[in-house]
């Protein structure tokens, strides 16, 4: 499969459903970074790697919808990133195949401004090499980065069922990944790409240390 065909079958998902507890309850994806909402920076990095972007957000959905198609968690209120993955998998699994042709689902968190530009390529290569593995996620050389992950389309429905079950038990994404046998992919050469913004000071520090693209 060539690069264009690979991208055409990928749904890129930004997980933006958090409560923003460490930014005073603000909606983190809409906070400004270099004069633009954080979500805009994330989508700039995601769009070249997918056919269409999707945002999972639980607040300010009209504001997010100005940037890309937006859906929300199946339950009421934020329930963590696994709930966002459940919503994305349900959307992908129920999509009309004749119009969406979604063979892969790529996820990134909204608080990582610059996902690796080769995130999809490397995760996809790993999944192809691992045969029937349903998911691959990034590892920055020190920590697992389970929100930077790629899911195989042929497993969407089984992944959705297992993710819903894990969500009921309040499992983390990493624990769920262990349960489904997800494979870790080495991104230690791009560790800086997984820098996330959690607090107002993080935003200020990032602006000071990173040149605006």
Average pLDDT over residues 69-95: 87
Mean pLDDT of 89-93: 93
Confidence of residue 78 (pLDDT cuts 50, 70, 90): low
> 49-77: per-residue pLDDT in tens?
999 899 999 899 999 999 999 999 877 65
Q: Where are the domains of the chain?
A: 3-209
β-bridge mates for residue 36, sequence order: 33
Tens digits of per-residue pLDDT, 100-114?
A: 557 899 999 999 999
- The pTM of this model reads 0.91
- Structure confidence at residue 149 (pLDDT): 98
Does 130 or 149 have the greater pLDDT score?
A: 149
Span 140-156, pLDDT tens digits:
999 999 999 999 999 99
Number of Cβ within 10 Å of residue 148's Cβ equals 24
Residue 2: burial class (beta carbons within 10 Å; 0-12, 13-18, 19+): exposed
Q: Considering the domain delimited by 3-209, tell me its CATH architecture.
A: Alpha-Beta Complex (3.90)
d(C-alpha 44, C-alpha 20), whole Å = 22
Determine contact, residues 162/86, Cβ cutoff 8 Å: no
User: Is the pLDDT assigned to residue 5 strictly greater than 70?
Assistant: no
In the prediction, which pLDDT does 99 show?
47
> Beta-strand (E) ranges in the chain?
10-15, 32-33, 36-37, 52-56, 69-71, 104-109, 135-139, 144-152, 183-186
pLDDT bin (cut points 50, 70, 90) of residue 170 is confident
Please give the Cα distance from 7 to 113 (Å, whole number): 21
Determine the pLDDT at residue 6. 52
């Amino acid at each position: 499969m060539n690069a264009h065909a690979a991208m055409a079958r990928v749904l890129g998902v930004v997980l933006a459903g958090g409560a923003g507890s460490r930014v005073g309850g603000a909606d983190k994806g809409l906070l400004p970074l270099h004069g633009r909402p954080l979500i805009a920076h994330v989508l700039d990095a995601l769009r070249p790697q997918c056919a269409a972007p999707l945002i999972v957000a639980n607040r300010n959905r009209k504001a997010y919808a100005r940037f890309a198609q937006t859906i929300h968690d199946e339950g009421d209120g934020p329930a963590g990133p696994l709930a966002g993955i459940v919503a994305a998998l349900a959307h992908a699994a129920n999509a009309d195949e004749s119009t969406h042709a979604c063979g892969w689902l790529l996820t990134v968190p909204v608080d990582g401004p610059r996902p690796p530009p080769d995130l999809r390529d490397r995760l996809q290569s790993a999944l192809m090499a691992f045969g029937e593995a349903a998911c691959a996620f990034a590892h920055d050389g020190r920590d697992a980065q389970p929100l930077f992950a790629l899911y195989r389309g042929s497993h969407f429905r089984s992944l959705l069922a297992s993710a819903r079950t894990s969500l009921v038990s309040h499992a983390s994404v990493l624990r769920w990944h262990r349960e489904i046998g997800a494979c870790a992919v080495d991104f230690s050469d791009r560790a800086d790409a997984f820098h996330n913004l959690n607090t107002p000071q993080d935003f200020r520090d990032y602006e000071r240390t990173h040149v605006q693209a």
